[in-house]
Amino acid sequence: MATKNTEFLPDYDQEHAGAYLSWVLEARGIKKVDFARRCGPTSKTISEIIAGKAPISPETALQFERVLGDSAGYWLQLDARFQLQQARAKERIKSVSAAAMAWAREFPIAEMVKAKFLPSKPKEADLVDTMLRFFGVSSINAFREFWEVRVSPARFKQHNHHEIDQYAVAAWLRQGEILADQIDTAPYDEGNFRVQLDEIRALTRRPWQAIEYELVDLCAKAGVALALVPSLKNTGLRGAAFWAHKDKAVIVLSDRGKYEERFWFAFFHEAAHILLHSKKSIFIDQDKTGTEDRDIEREADAYSAEFLVPENAISSFREMYGEYANDLEQEELEDFAEEIGISPGLLLERLQHEDLIVRNSAHNKTLKRKAQFDCE
């Protein structure tokens, strides 16, 4: 007796008829070889239909109807919907200009998926639309007017301009913007932010994994959204700072370099941009480089260095240890770091910057900690 067929054919992305056939055979405990014998087509034909590599002909649909009970019309309609969907997809690809596709392919899609910027790899036909939606613009021209100006390689004073991938820079910055928009913050208060920065400095003594969320929360209390965005290749980005609006500042940080010391220096560097510089500017900072105004970048560097390890602490260290600094035991460095309230790794990094301790110090492995953002 034939089973009743409800013939539910949804409008969303249609699986090929073979996928449904495979499900039916499995549900009924019918082997493909046995099904082929009962229907007439060869096992190879059935396998190709199940794999979506062969269409269902009217004759085959009638054979399916006799064996399985679902009407021949149902099988043909199921297959026709899939074929129509495939044809529409091909037409969408054709309708999108070659220039638009070339633009969309400039972005590091695989990296963006891996870093959770995108939920999954877009279909080819949807690539242009996906990237426009990601950047929150209606057209490629709108992207160029808004984003290309912000991330033009000319903005960076990098020695090797060819290493800058402005599309990767734009993707990283946009992800920071998206994440920052999701963070609820109090109205920005400069005085409160300065208070929070003192508390945040003390966090440097604790492992990154233990303070990540606390750091974001302390910033939010002062009206600053802190977005932690995994780094992308060919950007060299360590951080950025800008204003979402008058009551909300944004700091975006990269985990480039993978060590806490670089992260903390970048954080206080971006904090300096928020505290000291124009609310109308966007500051994008790379390794050894940054926004085109080098005076501003030097001021931010100086602020970060002084806030983390004050010059008077460096002077005290010189007086205490001087030429014997390279011979210090780890415990002595840890004690000095505790005395000035920062992590031993940060202290070591600053002392190396001041040429008081050699770069290849054995203490690097024991005092410097890694920091990597979770993409989940």
Least confident interval from 1-15, 69-83, 198-212, 280-294: 1-15
Residues 107 and 55 in one domain: no
Of the pLDDT bands very low, low, confident and very high (cuts 50, 70, 90), residue 159 is very low
Report if residue 120 sits inside a domain: yes
For the cut 60, the answer to whether the pLDDT of residue 161 exceeds it is no
Residues 220 and 308 in one domain: yes
Residues 89 and 125 in one domain: no
Residues 38 and 123 in one domain: no
Residues 328 and 343 in one domain: yes
Mean pLDDT of the chain: 85
Per DSSP, the residues of 96-113 read S-HHHHHHHHTS-HHHHH
**pLDDT digit string, tens, across residues 61-102:** 888 888 888 888 888 888 888 888 888 777 776 666 888 989
* % of the chain residues with pLDDT over 90: 47
Report if residue 267 sits inside a domain: yes
Average pLDDT over residues 275-290: 79
Number of H helices, E strands in the chain: 19, 4
DSSP SS3 for 36: helix
Of the pLDDT bands very low, low, confident and very high (cuts 50, 70, 90), residue 288 is low
Residue 50: which CATH number?
A: 1.10.260.40
Average pLDDT over residues 268-277: 96
Residues 116 and 64 in one domain: no
Report if residue 30 sits inside a domain: yes
Distance CA 363, CA 343 (A): 13
Of the pLDDT bands very low, low, confident and very high (cuts 50, 70, 90), residue 11 is very low
Long-range contacts of 27-35 (CB under 8 A, 24+ apart): 28/68, 35/67
For the chain, the farthest-separated pair of C-alpha atoms sits apart, in whole angstroms, at 98
The answer to whether the beta carbons of residues 116 and 376 sit under 8 Å apart is yes
Residues 190 and 289 in one domain: yes
Q: pTM, whole model, 2 decimals?
A: 0.72
Of the pLDDT bands very low, low, confident and very high (cuts 50, 70, 90), residue 209 is confident
Report if residue 85 sits inside a domain: yes
Residues 22 and 111 in one domain: no
Residues 358 and 253 in one domain: yes
DSSP SS3 for 286: strand
For the cut 50, the answer to whether the pLDDT of residue 12 exceeds it is no
Least confident interval from 7-21, 29-43, 103-117, 281-295: 7-21
Per DSSP, the residues of 338-366 read HHHTS-HHHHHHHHHHTTSS-TT-TTHHH
Split into its structural domains, the chain has a count of 3
What separation in angstroms does the CA of 338 have from each of 38, 304, 352? 81, 19, 18
Residues 203 and 345 in one domain: yes
Residue 288 has which token pair?
């050894």
Residues 146 and 193 in one domain: no
Query: What is the domain extent for residue 51?
Result: 17-95
Q: What one-letter code names the amino acid at 299?
A: E
Distance CA 4, CA 297 (A): 73
Report if residue 48 sits inside a domain: yes
